[in-house]
Amino acid sequence: MEEIIKEEVIIRERCCDKKNKCGCGACGGGIYGLAFVGALIYYIQHATSFWVGVLGVLKAMVWPAILIYKLLEFLIK
């Protein structure tokens, strides 16, 4: 048990600076998670059949990548 606690402390020391600001991407993961849930609810509510719902789940997983691609495409033009 003590070994696990020591490993967690070592990992936390690597990820976070002295001001307890995490540099591990935890905030981005939370934002992506909320966006995923929101997109998932949207696509499921608008699904007209089971397979459209399955497609909606897949779309909810990849839409942030498509959004960033379109944003960069818009900014570069």
- Residue-wise pLDDT for 9-60, tens only, equals 555 656 555 555 555 555 667 777 888 888 899 999 999 999 999 999 999 9
Check: CB of residue 53 under 8 Å from CB of residue 44: yes
Instruction: Measure the CA dihedral 30/34/36/37, to 10°.
Output: 140
The 10 Å Cβ neighbour count of residue 63 is 16
> What is the CA angle 18-20-24, rounded to 5?
105
Quick one: pLDDT at residue 33? 80
Stated length of the chain: 77
- Of residues 7 and 39, more confidence is placed in 39
- Global confidence as pTM: 0.56
